[in-house]
Structure 1
Amino acid sequence: MVMGVNTNVMALNAQRQLGSTQSEMQTAMERLSSGLRINSAADDAAGLAITNRQTSQINGLNQAVRNANDGISLAQTAEGAMQESTNILQRMRELSIQSANGTNSASDRQALQEEVTELQAELTRISDTTSFGATKLFDGNFGTRAFQVGANANETVSLGLDSISASDIGTSRQSITQTGITTANLGSATNGTDPQDEVVTFSVTTAEGSNSFSVTVDQGDSSLDNFVDSINSQGNDLGVYAENDNGSLVLSAENEVTALTVSADANDDGVIGASPGLALDGADTYLSAVGSIDISTEGGSQSAINVIDDALGQVDAKRAELGAFQNRLDYTIANLNNISENVSAARSQIQDADFAQETSNLSRSQILQQAGTAMLSQANASQQNVLSLLG
C-alpha cells in the first residue's frame, strides 16, 4: 500500500461506513419516534399503497358505524312518537266504547266527542312536528331513505316512514258486503224484471280535496269481474282498487284516501243492474280515517271502534318494522366493528414499527457510530507517521 498524504483511503472508508451507520440510526430513530415502519414511499412503496387502501376502508367502516348508530337513534325517535300515538288511539278507543253504550245521552256523547276532537288534533301535531334533527319523520315527506352502513358506495339499508296524522291512519280496506252492498246471483234478474243500466258513483276524499268517478253497469253484463275492471280503470289513479273476492265486491284504498262514498241510481227494489246483482240502499261511506270519526252518535261510535282498531294495527305494524330495523343495525354495527378490527390488525402488520427490532437497530447503530468515529480519528492520525520519514 502506498503511503501518501493526498489520499487517505482508511479515512475515506471509515467516513463511508460512518455515513451508512448514521443513516441506519436515523431510520431507526424515525420509526421509533413515529411508531411507523413506513414513513415514506421510499421505506416500502407497495406497503404504502396497501396500507392507504386499508386506511380508507377502516375510516369508512368507522363512519359507517356512526351512521348506523344515527339510524338507530332516528328509529328510536320515531318509535317514541308512535308509542305516544298508540296511547292516544287506545284512549280514543276507550272513549268510543264508552260512547257506544246505550246509557249515554246525546249531551254525554258530545262531551266524549270533544275529547276525541282534541286527541285527533294531538295525533296530527305529533305527526307534523316529530323530527330527528332538521328531518321531519311523519309529515308525509320522509318517504324511503337509504342509510349508508358500509365502507363502499351503495352499501345501504332503507327505511320508510309514512304520515301518522289523524287523517292518514285508519280503515283502508273493507268488503262492500259488510256495509249494505251485496252480491246476488250473477247473470239473472234478482227482482224478476228486465235488467236496466245503472250508474254507480264513487266519491273519493283525500287531504288534497275530493274527486269522483262513475261506472255504468250494463244491463246485459253478467260478470262481476267486468264491474271490477271498470272500477279499476278509473279508480286506480285516485287510489281506489276493486277486486272480486269469492263473489263479493271488495274495495281497497291507498293511505291517502280518507273517505270513500259509494252511491247508485238504483231501481225501486235497490238492485243496481240485475245482471251483476248488486244491491245498495242509498249511499254508504265505508272508508274512513281516525281524523274523521265522530262518536257523538251510537252508530258513529261503533264505526269509530273499527277505524281505531285498524289504525292501531297500522301503527303496530310500523313499530314492529322499526324494531326489526334497529335490531338489524345492531348486527350491522357488530359486523362493521369486527371487520374494522381485523383490517386494522392487518394494516398494523405492514405499517407499524417493531419496537423491539428498531430499539436493537438503534443500539447497534449507536455502537457502530462510536466505533466509526474512533476509527476515522485513527485514520486521520495515521498520516502523521509520514512526518517521521522526513527526519
Structure 2
Amino acid sequence: MTRINTNVQSLLSQRILGQQNKSLNTSLERLSTGLRINRGADDPAGLIASENLRSEKASITAAISNAERADQVVNIAEGGLQEINSLLLEVQSLVTQSSNEAGLSTEEKKANQLQIDSILETVDRIASSTSFQGTKLLNGTYDFTISGQNANIESVQVNAAKTAYGENRDVNVLVTQSAQHAGLFLSLDQANIDLNDTNGSFVFEVAGAEGSRQFTFASDTAITDIAKAINTFSDVTGVSAATSGTGIALKSTEYGSDEFVSVKVIEDSDVNVGKATVGVYNLEAKNEDDAEAAVAQTFAALKGSNPIRDSGLDVGAIVNGITATSKGRVVKVTTDHLDTQFQLSETGAQTLGSIGGVNPAFTIDGGGAKFNLGPNVDIINQATLGISNVTVRNLGSLSTGFLDELGSSKGANLENGNLAKAQDIVDSAINQVSSLRGRLGAFQKNTIGSTIRSLGVALENTSAAESSIRDTDFASETAALTRSQILVQSAQQVLSISKAQPQAVLSLLQ
C-alpha cells in the first residue's frame, strides 16, 4: 500500500535511529567518564551495591589514617620515655658510685646529688612537655581512672579497657587458691640447742630464692638467737625466721611458686636426737602443733642426704570470668576488652572467695588513650592504651618508695641517705618505664601495624569489588561504541531511503 500522509517506513526508521543514537550516547558517556553506572537508571541494583562499597572504602581509608595517627602519637610518647630511661640509667650509675663511701669525698657526693636533683627536674619536665597537638602524653592524661577500690586490692595498673560510650567497667575478682609462702619448721623440742657434747656444734644450711647461708651454733644457743641470726641474712637468702613454741618457723620473704625454703643438715652428731620431736617439719601451718602433724625427717636422717625443701604457691584468681595468670600475690588478666594487673593484700591473697563480696573489687571509670582503628565506630574496632604518669612522684612503688625520695635532704639522697633503698627505687622506676615502653612497642607492632596491613588489604579488595560493578570495561564498551556508530549510520541511510519512497506516487499522477 502506497501512502503520502503517513510514511510508516520513515517512522520506523526514526524510531530505530533514536534507539541507536541513545545507545551511542550511552557508550560515549561511559567511555568519557570511565564509569559503567553514571545514574540509577543505568543499573539500580549495581548503583546500590557500588555506593555501599564506596562508603566502606571511605571508612577504611579513614581507619588507615586513624591508625597512622595513632602510630605517630605512640612514637612521640616513646621518644619521651626513651630519654627518661637514659636519665634513670644515669641515676643508677650515680647511686652505685656514691655507695663507695671510703673512696668518695664529701664534695664528690654533693656533686653527685646535684646531678640527681637536675635529673629529677628533667624527668618532670619531659613528662610535662611531651605532647601531641597540645595534649600531654606522659603526665597521666591518658592514664585510666578507677574508683571503689577494695582494701584487699593494691597497686592497680590498667593497661587497656574497652568500654561503651558513657559506661564504666566493673572488675570482679574471685580468689580460687590462696597464695602461700614456702615454709619449713625446725623443731628442737626446747628453747635452746641440746648437745650431748657441750664442745660440739650444730651446723645446717638454709637456702631460699635469693641464695643460701650456712649457720653454726654451739650447745645451749637459744632458739631466739638462732632466729635472729637467720634474719640477719634474710636479704641474702630470701628466708625469714620466727620462734614458735620450742621451734623455729622458716618461711620465704615473698609469696609464690618461685619461692622456696630448704634446710640441709651439715653436722648433727652432737644433737640429742633421742627426743621424738626433733626434726624438720613442713610449714604453712604456723605453729608447732600443726607442724608436728607433718613430720618430714629427723636431723640424723637429713645429714648427708638431699636437703628438705618446700615451695610456695601463687594465688589463683578469676577476673570477670577469665582465669587470670598470677605470680605470688600479683594477678594479671589480658583479654581484648580488659588488660590489667594488680596485687592482692596478704589477707586478700589468702582468703578464698569474692573480693568485695557483691561489690566489684574496683571500677574503671574511664580514661586511657582511645583509638578507633576500624571502619566502624563501635567497641569492637576500638583500641585503648593506658599511658601512666611518669613524673618522679609516680616512678617507683609503694613497697620501695618513689623516685622523688632521691632528692636533696630526703631519705634516699646520696649524701647521707639510705643508698640501698635508693637503688631499689631506681630499679623499680627503670622496670616501670621499660614495661611501659614495651607495652607501647607491642601496641605499635601488633595492634597498629597489623591493623594498617589488614585494612590495606581490605581497601584493595573493596576497591576491586566496587570497580567490577561500577567502572567501564573499555574493551567491551569500545566494541559497543563501534557497533552503535555503524548502526546509526545504517539507520540514517535507511531513513533517507524511506523518505524517498513517497516520491514514487508522482509517477502514478502522470
TM-score with structure 1 setting the length: 0.69
1:156 to 382, 397, 418: 382
| 2:488 corresponds to which of 359, 369, 381 | 369
**Where do residues 92-107 of structure 1 align in structure 2 (5 Å cutoff)?**
92-102=91-101, 103-107=103-107
Does the CA contact (< 8 Å) of 1:71 and 1:147 recur in 2? yes
What CA distance in whole angstroms lies between the structure 2 residues aligned with 1:57 and 1:296?
61
Aligned to 1:317: 435
Q: How far, CA to CA, are the matches of 1:345 and 1:381 in structure 2?
A: 53
Contact between 1:101 and 1:298, CA under 8 Å: does it hold in 2? Answer: no
- 8 Å CA contact 1:166, 1:291 repeated in 2: yes
- Which residue of the partner structure matches residue 37 of structure 1? 36
Q: Which stretch has the larger CA shift, 328-337 or 293-302?
A: 293-302
Counterpart CA distance in 2 for 1:300 and 1:114 is 17
Q: Look up the match of 1:300.
A: 418
Q: Which residue of structure 2 aligns with residue 167 of structure 1?
A: 393
8 Å contact kept, 2:30–2:36: yes
Q: Is the 8 A contact 2:95 2:414 kept in 1?
A: no
Maintained 8 Å contact 2:23/2:484: yes
Aligned partners of 1:296, 1:327: CA distance in 2, in Å?
40
Farther off after superposition, 124-133 or 149-158? 149-158
Distance 1:106 1:171, change over 3 A: farther
Among 368, 371, 391, which residue is 1:147 paired with?
A: 371
Map 1:114-193; keep pairs closer than 5 Å.
Answer: 114-143=114-143, 144-154=368-378, 155-172=381-398, 174=399
Q: Which amino acid aligns with 2:401?
A: S
Aligned pair in 2 of structure 1 residues 297, 171: CA closer, same or farther (>3 Å)?
farther
- Superposed, 1:30-69 pairs within 5 Å as 30-69=29-68
**1:298 Cα offset (Å):** 4.6
Partner deviation per Cα, 1:145-203 (whole Å, 9 max, x = no partner): 2211111121121111111111110133x2xxxxxxxxxxxxxxxxxxxxxxxxxxxxx
Mark the runs of 5 or more structure 2 residues left unpaired by the alignment: 144-367, 408-412
Report the more deviating stretch, 370-379 or 297-306: 297-306
| 2:455 aligned with 1:342 | no
Map of 1:353 onto structure 2: 472
Name the counterpart of 1:88.
Answer: 87
Say if 1:171 and 1:306, in contact at 8 Å, map to a contact too: no
CA shift at 1:385, angstroms? 1.3
Counterpart of 2:22 in structure 1 is 23
- For 2:44 and 2:376, locate their aligned partners in 1 and report how far apart those are by CA, in whole Å: 24
Aligned-residue offset at 1:104: 2.3
- 2-side partners of 1:387 and 1:362: how far apart? 40
Which whole-Å deviations, capped at 9, do the CAs of 1:225-264 have from their partners, x for residues lacking one? xxxxxxxxxxxxxxxxxxxxxxxxxxxxxxxxxxxxxxxx
What is the aligned residue count?
277
* One-letter identity of the residue aligned with 1:141: T
Partner Cα separation in structure 2 for residue 47 and residue 124 of structure 1: 59
Structure 1: tracts of 5 or more residues without a match = 175-286
Report 1:259-278 matches (<5 A): none
What's the CA shift string for 1:297-335, capped at 9, x where partnerless?
A: 354333211111100000000011011001121111111
Match of 1:288 in 2: 401
Q: Secondary structure at the match of 2:384?
A: strand
Larger strand percent: 2
- The aligned amino acid for 2:6 is T
Partner Cα separation in structure 1 for residue 397 and residue 93 of structure 2:
18
Distance in 2, matches of 1:296 and 1:347, equals 68
- Structure 2 match to 1:389: 508
Residue of 494, 499, 503 corresponding to 1:380? 499
Paired amino acid for 1:377: S
Aligned-pair distance for 1:134? 2.1
Q: Could you tell me which amino acid in structure 2 is paired with residue 371 of structure 1?
A: S
CA distance in 1, matches of 2:404, 2:65: 38
In the aligned structure 2, how far is the partner of 1:80 from the partner of 1:296?
29
Q: Which has the higher helix share?
A: 1
Structure 1 stretches of 4+ with a deviation exceeding 6 A read none
State the 1:359 CA deviation: 0.6
What's the RMSD between the two structures over aligned residues?
A: 1.3
- In the alignment, the residues of structure 2 paired with residue 71 and residue 126 of structure 1 have an alpha-carbon distance, to the nearest angstrom, of 20
Post-superposition shift, 1:122?
A: 0.2
Using the TM superposition, give the Cα deviation of residue 78 of structure 1 relative to its aligned residue in structure 2, in angstroms.
Answer: 1.0
Question: Distance in 1 between the 2:454 and 2:141 partners?
Answer: 32
Structure 2 CA distance, aligned partners of 1:388 and 1:125?
109
**Structure 2 partner of 1:268:** none
CA contact (8 A) 2:373 2:382 kept: yes
* 1:36-75 deviation digits (Å, cap 9, x = unpaired): 1111111111111111111111111111111111111111
Normalising by structure 2, report the TM-score. Answer: 0.53
Residue 105 of structure 1 deviates from its aligned partner by 3.2
Partner Cα distance (2:397, 2:82) in 1: 20
The offset of 1:128, in angstroms, is 0.0
Match of 1:339, SS state, is helix
Structure 2 residue matching 1:324: 3-state secondary structure:
helix
